[in-house]
A and B are shown apart, each in its own frame.
Chain A
C-alpha cells in the first residue's frame, strides 16, 4: 500500500527539485509569518494553498509529457476563448476587464494563458520539427501576439509582458535565428518612443516614477523608496527574524505579496538573499539540465522555457523591489503570498519533474 503510493506519487519527483522546493517552502512560511505581522491564520491559509499546489505538482509529475502535449492545443484554445469572452463580456472591475464570471467561479484567463501559450507553442514546434522553416516562426509569433494583444487591452501590461516572454523563450529555444532576434531588438528599441503615447496614464506614471522616485513620494515612488530603505538597512546579516522595523511599522506596501522580498531582505540580510538566490539558481540549473535530457522536442522546449520563466519572475520581482526595474505587479516565486500564482509555479516544477521522470520511457 505505502509502497504503491510511493511509486505512484513520490518516485516520479526529481530529488533535486523536490528538496530545493521543500527548502524554499519552509523558508517562505517563516518569512510570511513575519511579513504578515505574525498572523497565524495567514500562514495557515498559505499552508492550505501549498497543499493544493503540491497535489497539482505531484499530479503533473506523474503524467507523461505526451499526454500534456495532447492537452496543449485545447488548453490554448480554451484560454484564448476565455480571453475573448473577457474582452467582450467580462465584468469591468473598475476600469480593467480581467475577470470572467462563470457561476460561482471567478477566473482570470490571463493566468491560464501563462502556461497554455508555451505548451501550445512547444507542441506546435514538435509537430513542425522535421520541416521547420521561417513560415512556422511567423505562425508562432501570431500565436503569441493574439493573446498578448488581448491581455494588453484589459489593460494589464505586466501580465502581457510575462506571457509574451514565455512565448518568446519557446521561439528562442526552437531556434529563432540570431539575426532575426538582433533585428527585432533593434526594432523594439526604435519603436519605444512610438509606443509611449499608447500607454495608459498610470503606466506612464510608473515609468516616470521609476526614473525619478522622488517625483511621487506618496505613490509608487514611495513604495520603491520604502523597499530600498528596508533592504538597505538590513545590512549583510539582517536585523533578524521578526526584527524588521520597516515592514512592521507599515512603511512597506503589499508586504506579503509583491514586496515580500523587502521584508525578507531587511530581516535576513545579504546572506539570506544569497541563500534564496542560490536555491533559485539550483532550480533553474536543474531545469536546464532536464531540458537537455528531454526525450521529445516538446518536453525539451517546455523545460527550457519554464526554467526561464522561473528566472524571469525572480529577476523582475527582485529588480523592482531593489529599484532597478519599474514597478510591475509580479509575484516572487515561492515567497509571495497567494494561491493562484503558487499553483502555476508548482505545476511548472511538476512539469520539469515529469520530463525528467519520463526521459527514457518515451520511445523516439
Chain B
C-alpha cells in the first residue's frame, strides 16, 4: 500500500508554523538567560563585587608529599629532601645587576645561572621572586645568611625536592620525575586530573616514578583563604588536608643491584635477576646508568647533550627495551621442545662435521667450532653449545612448532612487568613473515632460528623470565618490581601477590635432562667452566653469543679484526642452586665477545653475593 502523496503547500505551511514556534522558544530561552545575567549583575552584583574586589576567596591547593620508593629491605631509593634556593624579588631589590655582582662574592653563580635567571625574570614580568641559584650547599646557605642584611629583596627559599640517593644505581628502573610539560598537562586534562595537580610542578616521567604515578602522587588538599585585593592571604577559612602518596617497597635488593652493576665494570649491557618462584625481580640492571637527579629541575643543556650524544646511550633501558638475538641461550629451550614434542630423544647421537647443509646444496651453515664436535648427543650439544645439532633439530621441527613452543616461555610478547614502554621482542613464524614482508618462509630461516639468530629477538628481561620459567618447572610467573605498598593514610601495608603468567607441564625427566646438561655447562669441558669453577652450590647455565655483523661464507670471525662496536654480544642465562633454584638471571654484555668469558663471570658474582653473602632480614610489617 502506498501512502498518499504529501501536499507541498501544506508542508510549507507546517514548516513555517514550526519556525515561528521555535523562534518564540528561542526568545523565551534568551530571556531566561538575560534574567539570570541580570540577577547576577544587578541583584547580586554587590555580593559578587565584594567577593571579587574587597575580600576574594582564593582556593589554595595543598600539595601532598610524594610517596617514597624503597628497596625490599627498606633502603631508600627515592625521597623528598629540602633544597635551598637563592631568590631575588625584583620589586624589593633596588639594583638587580649590582646585587648579582655582590652575590658572586658569596655564592657561585655561573653564566648559565644568569641566563636562566634573566629568562625566568622576563617570563614573570617582575611580578614574582625569581631563583638565581638552586641547590645551595650548606656552606653557601650559612655564608649568605650572615650577609643577608646587605641584600634587600634577596632571600633563601626552602623547598622539598625529589632526590635519588643512589645516583647512578638502578636509575633506569627507578626512573625520575620532572617538570610537568604541555603534553603532561594535556594528558592530565583528558583524564580529568588537572585539579589534582594544581600546585604540583613535577610528574613521573620514567620507570617506577612514571608507572606508579597515581599511587606516588597522593591526593591534593585545599585551603580556602580570604585574601585582599592584591592577593595576599588574610586568614584561612576552611581546609582539607592533603593525603601523601603511597610508599612503594620494591622487590629489588639494592645491594644485589649494586653488586651486579659493579660487576659490569665499564662494559655496556644488561642484567635481570629474579626469584623464579614469585617473579619478584631482585636486580634490574642497564649499564651505563645516568644520574636521575639531573632531571628533577630540568636538565641543563650540557648534561643533556652528554647523555643524548654519548655512543654508550646511557638513557636507553637495555634490560626493558634492548632487543638482541638471543643466540645459543635458546638451545636449552630447543632441547626441551625436542623432548616434549618427541622430535628427538636425549640419547640420539648425531655426527657433526662442522657444518649443516641441505641435501644438494653447497651452502654451509657453520658450527662455531671449525671441524665440528664429532659425535654429539643432547647433553653434549648444550654443554659444548654445538650449532650443527640445532640446525638439524630446527629443520626437523619447523618454525611454526618452534614459534608456538617459545611463545609459551614468553618470547615475542611483553612480559607484563610494571614498567612502561616494554619492548616485545620477536619470535618469527611463517604467518608473521607473510604478513610483515609478504614473503614465503625459507627453510634456511628456520635453521638459523634454531641457534637464536635470524629474525629472533629478545630483551634481557624476556630471557630472564624464560630462564626463571625453566627453573620453576615450567610455571611462568609475571615479573614485577613492586613488592608492597604502604598506604599513607592508613599506614597499612598491602603485599603484592605473585601472579602466574602461564603454567606449563613438562615431563620431569625431560626437565631433568636439560637441567643436567646446563649444570654441565658450568663444569670442566663446558662453555662456562671458568665461571663455574669452585662454586659451593650448583649452577645451571647456558652461554650465548649474538652476532652483530654477518660473516660471509668462507670467512672467519676474527674479533681482533672487527672494531669494538661490531664485536659479538655476549649472553648468559643461569639459575642456582640448580636443585632448588632461588635466583634466575640473564646477562647481556654488548660487544663482549664470548658469553662464557664476559657474561658468565658477572652472573657468578651475583650468585655468590645472593647465595653466600649475608642477607638482611626480610621486610617486616609495622
B-binding segment of A52-60, A67-75, A89-97: A89-97
In the complex, what residues of A have CB within 8 A of residue B229's CB? 245
Counting chain B CB atoms within 10 Å of each CB, the highest count among A172, A175, A219, A233 belongs to A233
Compute how far the CA of A222 lies from the CA of B6 in the bound complex, rounded to whole angstroms. Answer: 54
Q: A175-B11, A270-B38 are in contact. Are A245 and B195 (CB under 8 A)?
A: no
Question: Are A249 and B231 interface neighbours, CB within 8 A?
Answer: yes
The answer to whether B48 and A229 have CB atoms under 8 Å apart is yes
Which residue of B16, B37, B192 contacts A265 across the interface (Cβ within 8 Å)? B37
Q: Which residue of A lies closest to B224 (CB)?
A: A217
Q: Which residues of A contact B26 (CB under 8 A)?
A: 281, 284, 308, 311
Chain B residues within 8 Å of A, Cβ to Cβ: 2-3, 5-6, 8, 11, 14-16, 18-19, 22-23, 26-27, 29-30, 32-34, 36-38, 40-42, 44-45, 47-49, 51-53, 56, 58-59, 61, 186-187, 190-192, 195, 198, 220, 222, 224, 229, 231
| A300 nearest in chain B by CB position | B15
Number of interface residues of A (CB under 8 A): 55
Can you list 16 contacts pairing A with B, beta carbon distance less than 8 Å? A172-B18, A175-B11, A216-B195, A218-B195, A231-B40, A232-B44, A232-B52, A245-B52, A251-B56, A277-B33, A292-B16, A304-B15, A315-B29, A318-B33, A319-B36, A322-B36
Task: State whether B40 touches A228 (Cβ < 8 A).
Answer: yes
Chain B residues with Cβ below 8 Å from A319 are 33, 36
Q: How far is the CA of A319 from the CA of B30 in the complex (A)?
A: 10
B187: which A residues are within 8 A, CB to CB?
Answer: 93-94
Q: Interface stretch among A1-9, A128-136, A341-349?
A: A128-136
A79 within 8 A of B: no
Q: Do the beta carbons of B45 and A233 come within 8 Å of each other?
A: yes
Interface residues of A in 279-301 (CB under 8 A from B): 281, 284-285, 288, 291-292, 297, 300
Is A234 interfacial (CB-CB < 8 Å)?
A: yes
Inter-subunit contact B33/A322 (CB<8 Å): yes
Flag if B6 contacts A129 (CB, 8 Å).
Answer: yes
Interface string of A262-285 (1 = CB under 8 A from B): 000100011001100100010011
Within 8 A of B (CB), among A224-254: 228-236, 245-246, 249, 251
Sample of 4 further A-B pairs with CB below 8 A, known A172-B22, A175-B15, A233-B53: A229-B51, A236-B45, A270-B37, A304-B19
Q: Which A residues are within 8 Å of any B CB, using their own CB?
A: 93-96, 129-133, 172-173, 175, 202, 216-220, 222, 228-236, 245-246, 249, 251, 265, 269-270, 273-274, 277, 281, 284-285, 288, 291-292, 297, 300, 304, 308, 311, 315, 318-319, 322-324
Q: Quote the shortest CB–CB distance from A316 to chain B (angstroms).
A: 10
Residue in chain A with minimal CB distance to B220: A218
Complex: A193 Cα to B33 Cα, angstroms: 27
On whether the beta carbons of A322 and B37 are closer than 8 Å, the reply is yes
Known: A292-B19, A315-B29. Contact between A132 and B6, CB under 8 A?
yes
A138 CB to nearest chain B CB (Å)? 14
Q: Report how far A220 CA is from B189 CA in the complex, Å.
A: 12
If A131-B5, A173-B18, A217-B222 touch, whether A233 touches B49 (CB-CB below 8 Å) is yes
Complex CA gap A246/B229 in Å reads 11
Check A218–B52 contact: CB distance below 8 A: no
A285:B23 contact, CB within 8 angstroms: yes
Of B18, B41, B56, the residue contacting A236 (CB under 8 A) is B41
| Bound CA span A319–B51, Å | 21
User: In the complex, what residues of B have CB within 8 A of residue A172's CB?
Assistant: 18, 22
CB distance from B211 to the nearest CB of A (A): 15
Q: Which chain B residues border A246 with CB–CB below 8 Å?
A: 52
The answer for the CA separation of A233 and B55 in the assembled complex, in Å, is: 12
Q: Which 7 A-B pairs have the closest CB atoms?
A: A232-B48, A233-B52, A94-B190, A232-B40, A219-B195, A233-B48, A94-B187
